[in-house]
Homo-oligomer: A and B are copies of this chain.
Amino acid sequence: MLTYIYILAITAEAMSGALAAGRRNMDMFGVSVIAFITALGGGTIRDILLGHFPVSWTQHPEYIYLTVSAGLITMLIARFMHHLHKIFLLLDAMGLIAFTIIGCNVALELGYSTPIVVMAGMITGIFGGILRDVLCQRVPVVFRHELYASISLLVALLYLQLEQMGLNHDLNLILSFATGIMMRVAAIYWHWSLPVFSYAPGRWK
């Protein structure tokens, strides 16, 4: 099940990358690269930080084709995408949760301690978007808008807690997933967000 959701997820992330590239008037190649990096960059950074070689996508070239195709198709259908805005946000939320849980699993299998497992989940969930925003010259969205990364954190904690309590693995997946999606939808709907830190000194280092 996680694999299917993962495929949906990287497709959605690749499309969000393509749209960001389009806002910077990139060419087809730039769109492909940003789509690929947005979709698979989080998992790549996780693998490198955890010393988990070979990096996942090097063993699954089909994910390269999928994300690049999703990026290119986005170029064609972008004009219709505001009609799909809600579906897109939902796919994006599914991606965030699926990436988080997959990231936790990778770190668990490598025997890392709980805080690092949680970090691995969050890094997988959010760093694709951070790389996208850095390459497209934006302050990362994930640091500023409605609850997003925090939901990745909460899902990681919930998933690990239920796992340690010995809950059936599939049940845990379903529960963590549903909770995460609901939290994200609620955050978007009611504009939940974290306190913002605004610092504007006269002159400072």
Contacts and interface: CB of A to CB of B under 8 A. Distances in A.
A161 interface: no
A121 to B, nearest CB: 14
Interface in A28-86: 28-31, 33-34, 44, 48-51, 53-55, 58, 61, 64-65, 75, 78, 82, 85
A191 interface: no
Contact of A27 (B16, B88, B115, B196): B196
Nearest to A152: B29
A5 interface: no
Given A27-B194, A149-B33, A205 B141 contact: yes
Interface stretch (A97-105, A130-138, A171-179): A130-138
B197 A25 contact: yes
Going nearest first, the 8 A-B pairs with the smallest beta carbon separation are: A30-B143, A22-B199, A51-B53, A61-B115, A27-B194, A22-B197, A26-B143, A28-B194
